[in-house]
Structure 1
């Protein structure tokens, strides 16, 4: 983990509001030091200097994270989310070394802000209040173009890209994609595990593929310049998207089903099809997802087993990282919302040892230091590291973001 970015002034989320008057007070999880630092990365002095240099000097992009801070007491989680003001973890992000992060707000993930489901107006509210908070500081800045990401890198800032895990909230109104784009959304998923009007999710018993409306939506996404994510889509729906889209598609946070056989992972045939059309896969690290037979206790080593496998399958030019981390108890969040998150359906009958956190990839502040450190210690060149931590994503965005 790096020292705090010089541009960061110590701002905390919504500090322009009065606690207890304008917003409800919660005790939040630590952004730094909530769990012990990863002890498995034994770098020499030279390797440590190289790791820090790459993290400081290169464009580093997370394809998928949740950079909000969650309550220390997870029993307050539902109450907290319903307030609609999820705080950005500026302190942790200032130590991350990231140039850009695709941040998936929780109203756009699994319907947990409202028991009524994916409400379009809830998503717009969430986007609006997050943007209002970003506007009150000058380190984490809203980004909607490759030029914005490059400018953030040049000026010591962090580019924040708004993303949604699924397009469920557009229902059958394709013009809502234009509105979301206008609000700053630059990447969107097709379905979050459950089927919607666009196609099927990965938890469904059957997968009917991309619907006719889904085809219209994908065409509009291409025209707008919305990056498309198929991480939580069913296999047939995901392949239909890859084939129908005129632009490369992202699998922003996933791994290989051949390495860990659950529906949450994607089969190599689908991953290859995505790569052949120019797409990129971001490696996932949310608890109990990217496990492996060699490392069934989830840690950075489990994730990198997927990495080495995919380098052999699709080549290093089509791999990135979408760790899918957050500030707080991620396992606790999964336990609280197991039904919404399709945990049981995603894991099926595969046995695994539960962990309290993913050692080495626990939160957005530590991920890329440990990822780059692992790559350095395993003999990858600067050029190879440059590609997987940002270059591959940037290449696709230059084609997709028109």
Structure 2
């Protein structure tokens, strides 16, 4: 059974439960708890594409979903067929992880747990670590998991890049929000750029074929990495500063142009404070970022990096508030420009549910993109860049 079969069976099952026809003037309901309908064109485009979320929390950054995820990783059999179907029916083929490791030992533990998890459910999960696995994922009934980290603090020396490549890591973000031995995160008031150690790490990542992610890097560290790298560079999840000028977390037009010149791709995030600097925030603000990058450097350099898990964000308003309060405590200069909806949401309502890729696709259709260009943004761009990097 292919992923397309799973999606079609989901549509059929929903229609049966609701006691209503699957098709209403070419529109479908994909899940029973929502009246939302999707066009035949949007469903077809998702089915035809290799959909890659360049930064997905998978098990969630909120306490309740994270506890569930920890059970999946530590208790055999905890990840059930019902859990798997949520991912299989989401329309997303590949989930690049969005977690971190503070040091070498924590990194080893992280990859041991995730490799064990993937190996424990071969009927549902496939580790994405090569161009071959990227080609396979669209014809298999499996969830693609791309092992990546949102920091490179686990690298003690360039040789550790080789070690973690051997453990399955395929993307590493150079810094998180704070500084490390490699360079500065965007929280830092003084960004000295890449250190000598950082230069050696970038060079080794280029040599072995590990993707360089600069999403959380400070401005100078971002520019230094783009200048130094001989391979395409990734911004897995960041907005455009031209649209959110208060956010130091967003990337400038100069950075986006340099990224494109290297052949890289920029994933657009689905968090409200990363796409608009004040309430209310809608899917149209999100789509504006896709438009901005496409107009600035071409649609060939746009992707998605939701920075969310598949759980519905509005189920946990108090946990959202706690997360935001914690981040604000670290972000002394309010460089994130954090804000929530009046319901306590971090995500954007229209794309804050497991099948959000269909809403994104409908939005790109509304913005008059061609089928070919929508497929590029849903994942073909990311697939092309990853294949280039991993072919070293």
TM-score category by the smaller chain? 0.7 to 0.9
Which structure: greater helix fraction?
A: 2
| Residues 144/7 of structure 1: CA separation in 2 closer, same or farther (3 Å cut) | farther
Give 3-state SS (helix, strand or coil) of 1:193's partner: coil
Who is 1:398 aligned against? 387
Who is 2:150 aligned against? 165
Report if the CA contact (8 A) 1:139-1:158 is conserved. yes
Q: Tell me how far apart the structure 1 counterparts of residues 321 and 202 of structure 2 sit (CA, whole Å).
A: 30
**Alpha-carbon deviation of 1:312?**
1.5
Give 3-state SS (helix, strand or coil) of 2:138's partner: helix
My pick for the range that moved more, 299-308 or 141-150, is: 299-308
Structure 1 portions without partners, runs of 5+:
9-31, 109-117
1:361 and 2:348 aligned: no
**Alpha-carbon deviation of 1:310?**
1.8
1:263 and 2:272 aligned: no
| CA deviation vs aligned residue, 1:240-270 (integer Å, no higher than 9, x gap) | 0011000010110001111011111111111
TM-score, normalised with respect to structure 1:
0.79
Equivalence map 1:317-356=2 (5 Å): 317-328=300-311, 332=319, 335-336=322-323, 338-339=325-326, 342=330, 345=333, 347=335, 353=341, 355-356=344-345
Give 3-state SS (helix, strand or coil) of 1:102's partner: strand
Report if the CA contact (8 A) 1:264-1:346 is conserved. no
1:388 and 2:377 aligned: yes
Among 88, 91, 96, the alignment partner of 1:97 is 91
Q: Tell me how far apart the structure 1 counterparts of residues 117 and 132 of structure 2 sit (CA, whole Å).
A: 22
Report if the CA contact (8 A) 2:73-2:114 is conserved. no
Report if the CA contact (8 A) 2:186-2:218 is conserved. yes
My pick for the range that moved more, 211-220 or 131-140, is: 131-140
| Residues 37/226 of structure 1: CA separation in 2 closer, same or farther (3 Å cut) | farther
Q: Tell me how far apart the structure 2 counterparts of residues 96 and 150 of structure 1 sit (CA, whole Å).
A: 19
Q: Tell me how far apart the structure 1 counterparts of residues 49 and 292 of structure 2 sit (CA, whole Å).
A: 25
Who is 2:292 aligned against? 309
**Alpha-carbon deviation of 1:69?**
4.9
Give 3-state SS (helix, strand or coil) of 2:351's partner: coil
Q: Tell me how far apart the structure 2 counterparts of residues 85 and 358 of structure 1 sit (CA, whole Å).
A: 31
TM-score, normalised with respect to structure 2:
0.81
Q: Tell me how far apart the structure 1 counterparts of residues 258 and 332 of structure 2 sit (CA, whole Å).
A: 27
Structure 1 stretches of at least 4 aligned residues deviating more than 3 Å after TM superposition: 2-8, 36-39, 69-74, 77-89, 327-331, 336-355
Structure 2 portions without partners, runs of 5+:
11-29
| Residues 334/327 of structure 1: CA separation in 2 closer, same or farther (3 Å cut) | farther
Q: Tell me how far apart the structure 1 counterparts of residues 325 and 300 of structure 2 sit (CA, whole Å).
A: 34
My pick for the range that moved more, 218-227 or 154-163, is: 154-163
| Residues 126/337 of structure 1: CA separation in 2 closer, same or farther (3 Å cut) | farther
Report if the CA contact (8 A) 2:88-2:141 is conserved. no
Q: Tell me how far apart the structure 1 counterparts of residues 385 and 207 of structure 2 sit (CA, whole Å).
A: 15
Q: Tell me how far apart the structure 1 counterparts of residues 249 and 383 of structure 2 sit (CA, whole Å).
A: 25
Among 272, 275, 278, the alignment partner of 2:260 is 275
Among 50, 53, 64, the alignment partner of 2:44 is 53
